[in-house]
Amino acid sequence: MNIRTLIFSCMLLLAAPLYARDKSDVIVMNNGDRLTGEIKGLDSGVLYVSFDYILGTSSVDWSKVNHLESKQQFLVKTEDGSVYTGAIKTAESSTSRPIKIEISETSDKSEVVEQSRIVVVDQISDKFWQRFNGSVNSGIIYSKGNQSTQYNLSSAVEYPRERWSAGANYSSNLSANSGSTVSTRNSLGLDSLRLLRWNNWYYAGLGNFRQSSEQEIALQTNLGGGIGRFLKNTNRATISLTGGLGWQNTRYSHSLAQQQGSQNVAGVLISAQVKLFKFNKTNLTLTGTAFPALSNPGRIYFDTNATYYIKIFGNLTWNVSFYGNWDNEPPPTFSGSDYGSSSGLGWTFGNR
């Protein structure tokens, strides 16, 4: 079994159906509609709820919720980076706007937060597998005329906890045409984040492993870490910036480059991420990482990823994505860039 098959199998395992708890949470909308179900979570301004009489998970506009009550324990995050845990319900004193949510950790300890300031809600489960959120996306194009085949596969998984989170993402792209060399690109990314005492500040660790036939890279390993901050963190947009130090090792597949040995580079790590949301319809994610080399002044690496999601129904999405990575001083005769775009269907899982 190759590494791609193994990783994909692990991602599919995480997407297996999860055991649900009792659907006894109460949600009342501004127009008076009363709903009883299981609150799965809140993200990007969407409250995800599961009902006994509706297949899959339904999406509710968080800004139009007038009242809710649940005895389930939740992890709650606000715009300023504050984190709370406990059962949630609309505060009894919240008879007019702004509506306030009471988060009760114990019977005698609670916090009251304005509803509009809450940006993330996740279930707290004793079962390990129920704590994961993620997605799987895939697409394929085939043309008989020139025996052309293109496919893409990507998957992401996140493990959120009270003051930290960890995630992994994997992407694979292949392009083959009759009479030409097969072009492949594979990337595995790992990341972790820990919130600091100061509002919206955090420290993070990043790792990436990449293979690119276009740049004749057999394996490029990137490891780094630094301090970051959420510049904007609302139900409509999230913008974060991270800065630190990193190390990169590149092993080329071409025999001429192999004679030079693998390249080791130390540099400055600058990473930015932008997420834009529109209720239950679209989601745009942009990430970019610059790596100016300190051990080889003047050499700069840059990579970016962009994905635009459109929800079809339930957990099914359609997406368009773009990837690219550049090196301004590659080995002689080698390509300094690799980029492309793809589209396909996706499936989300977890508390989403």
Q: What is the DSSP string of 168-185?
A: EEEEEEEEE-TTS--EEE
Q: Which CATH architecture has domain 22-126?
A: Roll (2.30)
CA distance 197 to 25: 32
pLDDT of residue 278: 80
The per-residue b/e assignment along 258-278, b for 16 or more CB within 10 angstroms, e otherwise, is: eeeeebebebbbbbbbbbebe
Answer yes or no: are the C-beta atoms of 48 and 352 closer than 8 Å. yes
CATH 2.30.30 domain extents, the chain: 22-126
Here the tokens at position 291 are: 């790596």
Question: Could you identify the residue written with the tokens 């009894």?
Answer: 92
- Give the closest residue to 352 by CA, choosing from 79, 14, 5: 14
Q: Which amino acid is at 345?
A: L
Question: Could you identify the residue written with the tokens 């630094």?
Answer: 226
The CATH fold of domain 3-11+130-349: Porin (2.40.160)
CA distance 102 to 274: 30
Eight-class DSSP state of 14:
H
CATH 2.40.160.40 domain extents, the chain: 3-11+130-349
Beta pairing class for 118-123 and 34-43: antiparallel
For 163, other C-beta atoms within 10 Å of its C-beta total 14
Across 128-200, where does the E strand assignment appear?
Answer: 133-143, 148-160, 164-176, 183-195
Here the tokens at position 203 are: 């420290």
Answer yes or no: are the C-beta atoms of 266 and 247 closer than 8 Å. yes
CA distance 112 to 278: 27
Beta pairing class for 217-233 and 133-143: unpaired
Here the tokens at position 168 are: 């992994």
Beta pairing class for 133-143 and 148-160: antiparallel
The per-residue b/e assignment along 17-27, b for 16 or more CB within 10 angstroms, e otherwise, is: ebeeeeeebeb
pLDDT of residue 96: 59
CA distance 211 to 252: 9
Give residues with Cβ within 8 angstroms of 134, minimum separation 6. 11, 14, 15, 155, 156, 157, 158, 348, 349, 350
218 vs 185, 211, 251, 255, 341, CA distance in Å?
A: 10, 5, 6, 11, 21
- Give the closest residue to 289 by CA, choosing from 331, 334, 246, 322: 246
Q: Is 121 helix (H, G, I), strand (E, B) or coil?
A: strand
CA distance 134 to 351: 9
Here the tokens at position 191 are: 């990341």
The CA angle 270-44-240, to the nearest 5 degrees, is: 15
Q: Which residues pair with 241 in a beta bridge?
A: 229, 272
Q: What is the pTM of this model?
A: 0.77
- What is the full per-residue pLDDT of the chain (352 aa) written as tens digits? 444 544 444 444 444 444 456 788 999 998 889 999 988 888 888 888 888 887 777 888 888 898 999 988 888 989 888 888 889 988 865 555 678 899 987 767 888 888 888 988 888 766 666 678 888 999 887 777 677 788 889 999 998 887 889 999 999 998 888 777 788 999 999 999 999 988 889 999 999 999 999 898 999 999 999 999 999 988 889 999 999 999 999 998 866 555 556 789 999 999 999 999 887 678 899 999 999 999 999 999 999 999 998 888 777 889 999 999 999 998 888 889 999 988 999 988 775 5
CA distance 162 to 77: 9
- Give the closest residue to 319 by CA, choosing from 283, 300, 290, 344: 344
